[in-house]
Amino acid sequence: MSTATTNAPQKRSFTAAASVYVNERTSIAGFVKELGRKAFPDHWSFLLGEVALFAFVVVLISGTFLTFFFQASMAEVHYNGSYVPLKGVEMSVAMASTLDISFDIRGGLFVRQMHHWAALLFVAAIGLHMLRIFFTGAFRKPRELNWVIGFVLFILAMAEGFTGYSLPDDLLSGNGLAIINGMIKGFPLVGTWMSFLLFGGEFPGTDIVGRLYTLHILLLPALVVAFVALHLVFVVVHKHTQYAGPGKTPGNAVGPPILPVYAAKAGGFFFIVFGVLALIASLFTINPIWNYGPYDPSPVSAGTQPDWYIGFADGALRLIPPGWEFVWLDRTWSFNILVPIIAIGVFIVLALMYPFIEAWVKGDKREHHIADRPRNAPTRTAIGAAGVTFYAGLWAAASSDLLATHFSLTMEGVIHALQAVVILGPFVAYFITKRVCIALQKKDREIVLHGFESGRIVKLPGGEFIEVHEPLDEYERWRLVSFETYEPLMLRPNSRGKITFGQRLRAGMSRWFFEDRIAPVTKGELEAGHGEHH
């Protein structure tokens, strides 16, 4: 038999040969075909999550380097390294090895500072990313679970930060642990024993650094990596949200393909984040433990501050008025510790649950892939502003002493002012934000109906001056009119003729959300508007 299909060996490039080799052993072609040319919507605000991811990669890389030199032991030694002022001082091995990383290992200080700066950026970028998600409604169906995963990551990142901050066993971090010890002891029933178990006996003991080290480099990073992976899988499954724009519909995703443009931009952006962190680490000192000295339970300096992301918790402790502690049933109830913890806990749970609350109020079961402009969801945006104000008040309280000394105020005055900010501020922020959003929506309507100010002043025959308004083109107009509003829920009896409490609550919430609303301009309105002379 002579068939023509003899497959003469063709000249193949190395890339093609390598691809075939790999694919025939991994079946990766399907994966590449699936993902390689996916459209990835593009916007500057989408970079915040990338900053968080890339900062985390930098944390992993720099942290791995540090583990080769850091020794998580609290055994006492007399320091004998290069930093002269501390020579001979008794300190833990952890502190001494951190000093060695800083003063005896070339480039060690650089990596240590990059690790710390990257950790600060990691938490900050997560926070900003969450604000972006919240204010654009990108947590709506189908992304509610990814919001929860992201929230868990935020908390894990703070835990990573705190455990890492505590490792060098310097004066500041030891004081931070003293505060944690005091807070844990304030828990009813279990507090005393939890502290006893955590510290392996009495505070400070000789175990805590080793235990935090296990959490910091093993357990917590494993969780963070797992949740980041899950978070990204969901981004692929859901496809990214996009802002409203001409051609963009709830049913499509528009953007440059992953290969090559998105990959090049994101890959390049990773190096930019890495590079900026390297620049900061080479120019700005962070956590100079050699100035603080080793941990000692007796001294402390004024104006001490935790890392920024712990500030809100520390501030919450400061804002409690005197006397919130009672002995009842022969037991001590430390409400001066419990109230801040409960308040922060409630705040976190409300933020975590917000997507589900909003979905329940709206009853909207559709998928949402177009990100809202914040002004087009005034109540949500106002709630977010209230939350930000609450957090900011707590956060500022962590610096109450510095605020007092820098601005020559009384300590008591600053605390009382911040108590007002935390309790009344959210209401003020809510009201102002909602009004501003509605005003901006009205301005959008005005522009759609009457065009934008062209800057061209015309004198009419009667001597009157007018500024000519130019109508928007259809693409610009689409950005301003393509949003949806919701109306308050009408209360109707159910099939058994009853109005349940749940329905009443939902109707009340719905009224609160949507009573004041501005609808987008419709075609009819625009046509009617054209009839007017202006």
Partner 1 sequence: MAQDDHSGTEIAAADSSHAAPAASPGTALIAQDAFENPGFPPHRPRVTDEDPKREKRAQRTVYTLFYLSIVGSVWAIAAYMLFPMESNNVGDVRLNNLFIGLGATLALLGIGFGAVHWAKSLMYDVELVDERHPIGGSPETQAAAVKVFQDADRESGFSRRAVIRNSLIGALLVFPLPAVVLFRGLAPQDQNPIELLSHTMWKKGTRLALDPSGAPIKASDVTMGSAFHVIPEGLQDLEHGKLDEKAKAAVLLMRLDPKDLNELPERKDWSYDGIVAYSKICTHVGCPVALYEQHTHHLLCPCHQSQFDVSNHCEVIFGPAKRPLPQLPIAVDDEGYLIAQSDFTEPVGPSFWERH
State the distance between the two ends of the chain, measured CA to CA, in whole angstroms: 87
Comparison of 128 and 276: residue with beta carbon closer to partner 1? 276
Nearer to partner 1, 467 or 470 (CB): 470
Give me 513's structure tokens: 């959300």
Q: How far is the CB of 369 from partner 1 (least distance, A)?
A: 6
Helices marked H in 323-377: 335-362
Residue 286, both tokens? 């962070």
- Whichever of 190 and 466 has its CB closer to partner 1, that residue is 190
Residue whose CB is less far from partner 1, 188 or 493: 188
Angstrom CA distances, 463 to 454, 456, 466, stand at: 20, 16, 10
Tokens representing 450 are: 């009457």
From CA 503, how far away is CA 492, in angstroms rounded?
8
Segment holding 467, helix H or strand E: strand 465-470
| Cβ proximity to partner 1, 131 vs 196, nearer residue | 196
For the CB of residue 243, give the shortest distance to partner 1 in the complex, in Å.
13
Q: Please give the full DSSP string across 95-159, using - where no structure is assigned.
A: HHHHHHHHHTSTTHHHHHHHHHHHHHHHHHHHHHHHHHHHHTTTTSTT-HHHHHHHHHHHHHHHH
Q: Which residues are within 8 A (CB) of 478 and not within 5 positions of it... i.e. 6 or more apart?
A: 244, 245, 246
Q: Are the beta carbons of 478 and 246 closer than 8 angstroms?
A: yes
Least distance from C-beta 93 to partner 1, angstroms? Answer: 14
> What number of residues does the chain have?
534
- Contact residues for 471 (Cβ-Cβ < 8 A; gap 6+): 451
Nearest to 230 by CA among 332, 156, 175: 156
For residues 4 and 302, which CB has a smaller minimum distance to partner 1 in the complex? Answer: 302
Residue 161 has phi, psi (to 5 degrees) of -60, -50
Provide the residue type at 49 as one letter: G
Q: Closest separation between CB of residue 465 and partner 1, Å?
A: 32
Q: How far apart are CA 344 and CA 340, in angstroms?
A: 6
Q: Smallest distance from the beta carbon of 141 to partner 1, in angstroms?
A: 8
Least distance to partner 1, CB of residue 149, Å: 15
Q: Quick one: 52 or 198, whose CB is closer to partner 1?
A: 198
* CB nearer to partner 1: pick between 226 and 528: 528
Residue 61 is encoded by which pair of tokens?
């890389």
Rg of the chain, C-alpha, whole Å:
29
- Minimum CB distance to partner 1 smaller for 316 or for 385: 316
In the bound state with partner 1, the residue whose beta carbon lies nearer, of 428 and 445, is 445
**Residue 501 CB, nearest approach to partner 1 (Å):** 19
CB of 265 to partner 1, least distance (A): 5
Shortest distance, CB of residue 21 to partner 1, whole angstroms?
23
The 3-state DSSP class for residue 78 equals strand
Compute the least distance from the CB of residue 31 to partner 1, in Å.
Answer: 11
